[in-house]
Amino acid sequence: MDLVRDVLDRKLVDREDCDMGRVDGLVMQLGAHSQPRVTHILIGGTVPWTRLHPALRKLATNLARKWGPRRAEPVRIPWSRVITAGRDIRLDVKARDTGAIDWEIWIARNIIKRIPGGGQEEVE
Amino acid sequence: MKKILQITLGIVTSVGGFLEIGSVLTAAQAGAVFGYQLLWALLIGTVCLIFLVEMSGRLAAVSKHTIVDATRERFGFPFFFIVLVGMVLVAVLVLIAELGGIGLSLQLLTGIGFPWWAIPVSLLVWLLMWKGTFSLIENGASLLGLITISFVIAAIKLHPDWSSAGAGLLPTMPHDQKARYGFIAVSILGASISPYLMYFYSSGAIEDKWDESYIGVNRIIATLGMSFGGFLSMAVLIAAALSLHPRGIQPDTFDKTAVLMTSAFPKWGIVLFAASMLVACFGAAVEISLAIAYFFCQGFGWNWSQNLEPSKNARFALVYTIIILSSAIPLVFGIDPVKMTMISMALTAAMLPVAIVPFLFLMNDPIYMGKHGNGWVSNSVVAIIIILSFILAVISIPLEIMGG
Amino acid sequence: MTEIHIELLLGTKVRDVDGEDIGRIEELRVERDDKALLVDAYLIGTSALIERLSAWTLVRPIQRFLNSRKLYSLYRVPWQDMDLSDPKHPRLRIAKRDLRHAK
């Protein structure tokens, strides 16, 4: 499998087909003499902005701390949770529990549902 | 049976998407200043759009990806972000022009100035997106859009010399006002080849759950639909050539542009013109807002669907809400929608390479397209569009300054 | 154990043990294991970029049209031969001449 072509920037879905964002980054662990292992998928946080330019990392961190769910750290999902890596990457998790849709929930709760007609139920 | 229904609905949708303030004003300008001479620009624009829209639909049907999905996946976040910024900036300018067009139409009908209409109009557009489903929007705005056929009737009623009009389908150089000619030609191409239409179409194909069996239908929709839209624009140009050109009227305001309809319909012309523009701009405003929201959501991997209620795709709803309401603001301060239209059409032409170059890669990607990738004909057309769009990008800004 | 962000490794220039420029990291070839992906090799060079963009369908006809015989470089560096102790400046543990020029 080719990592950049087949994994990086792919869409992630949870076990109930809920969109969880995209693979913004991947963590590789290096030992002194062992084969490097890709261990975690990274979603959101400062990861995509650091790819644009390293200087944006600080700006993104400061902004993220002030608004919304107030979390600047990306979501880390262990690779062991990947079920399939095809057109989308399917994970054996529930999106809600990972923190990947915290922004979605925060916006739904604090902005959208305050507007008439915005909806009653929580995001699944 | 379902596919046949899709064709008719799809064609009607294309009408709603193609004809809007940009295509009407640029065609009216062209007819008023140069008679039939710029019909070739509309022909080229229409043919290019047919190819691009067909490809957008094919990409979605075969790869089950929208253009934005595929752009992010194949080229990575940094490149995608550059495209996002470019496309969204230009789309917002066009949206301001469309909302302004709705306001100007209401101004024609009621006498109340367009800045007063800016907020109510944008709230109405927002409300349709907040409460409406994709089908309602697709069908509703499009069926109403059939009123734009009044442009065709107007053109015919004015008794054009069809052989002279036909001669305008071949490119010729004007005797004077060359910069102006160039600028209007560029604006026509920018008005016809709108990237947001491609993004919207590929998203619609995914919303409607197209698969490989829709490839044939897609070809028909793209060809007939976009041809119909191009045909309508040509009717506007011809009507302007017959009513504005002889009298030396410059269509730089809505009132003056309306003359192309009142010449053919002395009694009802104003109402027909205003109603046609109202519906066309409304449909375009909704499509552009959706296209921008789709761009963010598909690129970042957020939930998106016009068929879900807002709280189920909160970020999607937030994006279009912010975009629509903030686009109303310049209009409240009286920014001229007609000037805005001409500027945004030229800038659209300038930004085309950013949209089309990655698209060429995607349409030749064997992983996405399987055996349905571009043949040499489609690739040649895209290559010509890219060369054309680079030329347009380079000359549109100086032309804007010289001829606008 | 050091942690490296792969998305930041993309596009970094690689030098061999003698300091000679090889190209940029464009792709990582991996094998699946139960718990993780094992990095098998690093693909370096313009050819690797074209492969990653699935762009051969476009590049080959253009090359033919321009009558170009230019061979785009592609090096396949096995994981053992890559030194990532400084992720911003990856180095090979071997010399360029010892690398097999991949097809």
From the list C1, C7, C27, the residue facing A5 with the nearest CB is C27
pLDDT tens by residue, chain B, 404 residues: 667 666 665 665 666 577 889 999 999 999 999 999 999 999 999 999 999 999 999 999 999 999 999 999 999 999 999 999 999 999 999 999 999 999 999 999 999 999 999 999 999 999 998 888 777 777 777 778 788 899 999 999 999 999 999 999 999 988 888 888 988 888 898 889 989 889 988 998 898 889 999 999 999 989 988 898 899 999 999 999 999 999 999 998 999 999 999 999 999 999 999 999 999 999 899 989 999 999 999 999 998 876 778 888 899 999 999 999 999 999 999 999 998 998 898 888 888 899 999 999 999 999 999 999 999 999 999 999 888 888 877 877 777 666 55
Give the residue numbers spanning the domain of B365: 2-403
ipTM of the predicted structure?
A: 0.91
Kindly list the residues from chain C whose CB atom is less than 8 angstroms away from the CB atom of residue A78.
Answer: 35
Kindly list the residues from chain C whose CB atom is less than 8 angstroms away from the CB atom of residue B361.
Answer: 53-55, 58
Q: What is the CATH number of the domain that holds B59?
A: 1.20.1740.10
Kindly list the residues from chain B whose CB atom is less than 8 angstroms away from the CB atom of residue C6.
Answer: none
Q: Is C10 on the interface with B (CB under 8 A)?
A: yes
Evaluate whether residue A52 is within a structural domain: yes
Judged by CB atoms closer than 8 Å, whether chains meet at A29 and C3 is answered as: yes
Q: How many domains does chain A have?
A: 1
CB burial of A24-42 (b: ≥16 within 10 Å; e: otherwise) equals bbbbbbbeeeeebbbbbbb
Distance CA C84, CA B173 (A): 62
Distance CA B245, CA B33 (A): 6
Q: How many domains does chain B have?
A: 1
What three-state secondary structure class fits C92?
strand
Chains that touch C (3 or more CB pairs under 8 A): A, B
Q: Is C62 on the interface with B (CB under 8 A)?
A: no
Evaluate whether residue A123 is within a structural domain: no
What three-state secondary structure class fits B231?
helix
Q: How far is A42 from chain B (nearest CA, A)?
A: 13
Q: Across-strand partners of C92?
A: C82
Q: Is C50 on the interface with A (CB under 8 A)?
A: no
What three-state secondary structure class fits C58?
helix
Q: What is the CATH number of the domain that holds A74?
A: 2.30.30.240
Judged by CB atoms closer than 8 Å, whether chains meet at C4 and A50 is answered as: no
Evaluate whether residue A99 is within a structural domain: yes
Q: Is B131 on the interface with A (CB under 8 A)?
A: yes
Q: What is the CATH number of domain C6-98?
A: 2.30.30.240
Q: Is C81 on the interface with A (CB under 8 A)?
A: no
Judged by CB atoms closer than 8 Å, whether chains meet at A1 and C5 is answered as: no
Judged by CB atoms closer than 8 Å, whether chains meet at C57 and B75 is answered as: no
